[in-house]
Structure 1
Amino acid sequence: MLHVIEVRQDNGMDWYEEQDGIGAPSGADAEARPAAAAGSGGVTPARAAAMAGNAAAGTDSGTTAGAASLAGIVAVHGAGSVTPSRAAADGTAFGAEARSRDCWYLSLVTYGKCVYWIEQEKVVMEKGDLLLIPGSTYFYGKSVPTLFHSKTVVKFIVSADGAARLPLLGLTGALKWKLGRYEQALERVQALHREWSERQPYADVMAEAMLMELLTICNRERDRGVVSDHKHRYVEHMKKYVQEHYREKVTKDDLGAYVRLSPNYAATLFREVTGQTISEYVHGVRIKTALHLLVDSRLTVAEISEFLGYGDVSYFHRVFKRLTGRNPSEWMAERPADI
């Protein structure tokens, strides 16, 4: 089983987060943090000082001797000298302080770039990348200076039986990869965020079910093996073509010609990376546009159907219902009165 703790969207250029909750640094320390972490094995001056303070106050889980030892190291050598191995050797159990939480962390980047430091390793995240960090793993991350980014983050706890059901939940280290099924994952994570934000009855149960579905999609993709970067590039080009021509009939011949591959190989590659056929992807793009037009325009259902390239409005109804679970007229009922 999974227990969702938090679902949020991060947007901006000044994001900072740390797993163990010591808090974001400020001023010069905020700028020095990445360099200090890389040089000191992940324990920065601010972090080490906080560790020493917590230990001395008895709020850490280390022993009294360990607290005194850590405080002594900081006093004699400076906070930057405290590494994970040094802290553990002195009985303070760096892991007990930094790994005291069992909260897992899933991050899907939807725009721009950001950077994480996970157990001394730098991980650069950009649009389409998913990061899964197991519970009890120390990390921190921040925005790339002057660069806007957005991402959705889910924090959750995994029970023993939950870990046994999906291999991804048995990870002992962080895992980052570029999703081939990005659109599918994005839809799930956006729905999960809406469910969590609206807090309808049984929202926690629904959120946990949605998270399990998202992780299952990710696990299936990982089971197929890592897709090479050049395959991703081909498919991104094909997606770009679809985005520009979705109102027309898009075929494997069109995409093959666009990326200079044989039609059959283009279609096979597209499905391998995205988990969808070309036709399924085109329908998805059309229906996303329909959702917008049904609420934010004055067009009728028939006009929207024609605009999107569906010659038969009844066929548009069937596709819309299959992909959204609702009829176009039901969605249109949410259109503001002043539209």
Structure 2
Amino acid sequence: MINLVSVCLDDMDSQWKIEEKETLTDMLILVIHGKAIYVLNGETIELNKGDLLFISQGVRRAGMNAPEGLHQKYSVHFFAERKEQFPFDVSCSFRKVQTRHLDYMKMRFASLQQHWFGRNPHDGLICSGIALELLGYFSRELVEERFASVKLRLMQEVQDYIRTHYREPIRIEDLSHHIDRAPNYITQTFKAVTGMTPITYLHQVRVYAACDLILNSKMTIGQVSEYLGYSDQAHFNRVFKKIMGYPPSFIQSKIRGL
């Protein structure tokens, strides 16, 4: 959980300047126009349109407009209750990445600012949710920047294929034929990009579908297992427990107890 302190939009401010001082909160910044210059712990950082920057609390920070002109950027100031929950290394003073999803990120930052200043009922909860989403996207961007765009696109095609055909007996050879790449390439690249093998991802998709079916249909666990392509219910139970941490019968018992 994070505690928001402020959400700001610096909008082509000719007077914008930050004298060097210690950053009092954690920060997440998105530049949407122009260029800004930061000096973080003595290191000069240029932020261009589409750059995301995370700054840890305690970093000595100065900032100014670039000589080329003014800029627009969003900045979110917050405290994290448990930094170890962040999916990226927060021990670094700062991290910068160029977003591949600028239009969407702009929309979410704008929505965050709107709710922050709206102060309507439940806006605080909405703001916390959006801020966590932005940190999640920032973390994913850090991972994705290590890979070429073509690899990311191909692995997205593999994921899309699995999500479409998850009830079928998918083999690596099927994925190989789908994107015209060797099986070894798919297995190695998919794991590098997603952190799991294609087969593990398939089981994950099936298990999440199983949760929905158990909660929202009258199917038995055996019927759910067969519907999702498992010929052996015992195998389905083992896969489900490995991913969720509890067996599918646990959900049924909770439903019956309501």
Question: TM tier, shorter chain?
Answer: 0.5 to 0.7
Q: % of aligned pairs identical? A: 24
CA distance in 2, matches of 1:302, 1:231: 38
Q: Cα RMSD (Å) of the superposition?
A: 4.2
TM-aligned CA distance change 1:332 to 1:286, over 3 Å: same
TM-score by length of 1: 0.48
Q: 8 Å contact 2:221–2:248 — kept in the other structure?
A: yes
Matched, 1:174 2:79: no
CA distance in 2, matches of 1:158, 1:175: 24
Opposite residue 171 of structure 1, the aligned amino acid is S
Matched, 1:135 2:56: yes
The Cα shift of 1:280 comes to 0.4
The Cα shift of 1:335 comes to 3.6
More helix per residue: 1
CA distance in 1, matches of 2:147, 2:160: 19
The Cα shift of 1:104 comes to 3.9
Opposite residue 5 of structure 1, the aligned amino acid is I
The Cα shift of 1:266 comes to 1.9
Residue 323 (structure 1) aligned to one of 237, 243, 246: 243
Residue 241 (structure 1) aligned to one of 144, 148, 161: 161
CA distance in 2, matches of 1:20, 1:317: 46
CA distance in 1, matches of 2:98, 2:79: 17
The Cα shift of 1:331 comes to 1.1
SS in 2 for 1:298: coil
Opposite residue 324 of structure 1, the aligned amino acid is M
Opposite residue 122 of structure 1, the aligned amino acid is K
The Cα shift of 1:167 comes to 5.2
Opposite residue 216 of structure 2, the aligned amino acid is D
Q: 8 Å contact 2:55–2:93 — kept in the other structure?
A: yes
CA distance in 2, matches of 1:122, 1:168: 23
CA distance in 1, matches of 2:244, 2:95: 36
The Cα shift of 1:20 comes to 5.2
The Cα shift of 1:225 comes to 7.3
Partner of 2:225 in structure 1?
Answer: 305
Opposite residue 56 of structure 2, the aligned amino acid is G
The Cα shift of 1:116 comes to 4.9
TM-aligned CA distance change 1:167 to 1:239, over 3 Å: closer
Q: 8 Å contact 1:103–1:156 — kept in the other structure?
A: yes
Opposite residue 150 of structure 2, the aligned amino acid is H
The Cα shift of 1:155 comes to 4.3
CA distance in 2, matches of 1:132, 1:320: 38
User: Based on CA coordinates, which of the two structures has the bigger radius of gyration?
Assistant: 1
Opposite residue 174 of structure 1, the aligned amino acid is K
Partner of 2:106 in structure 1?
Answer: none
CA distance in 2, matches of 1:167, 1:293: 37
Partner of 1:65 in structure 2?
Answer: none
SS in 1 for 2:157: helix
Opposite residue 175 of structure 1, the aligned amino acid is V
Which structure 1 residue ranges, 5 or more long, are not aligned? Answer: 8-18, 25-32, 37-43, 45-79, 107-113, 125-130, 143-152, 179-196, 198-210
Matched, 1:5 2:2: yes
Q: 8 Å contact 1:20–1:101 — kept in the other structure?
A: no
Q: 8 Å contact 1:104–1:157 — kept in the other structure?
A: no
CA distance in 1, matches of 2:210, 2:170: 18
Opposite residue 101 of structure 1, the aligned amino acid is L
CA distance in 2, matches of 1:154, 1:250: 45
More strand per residue: 2
Partner of 1:103 in structure 2?
Answer: 26
Opposite residue 102 of structure 1, the aligned amino acid is T
Partner of 2:234 in structure 1?
Answer: 314
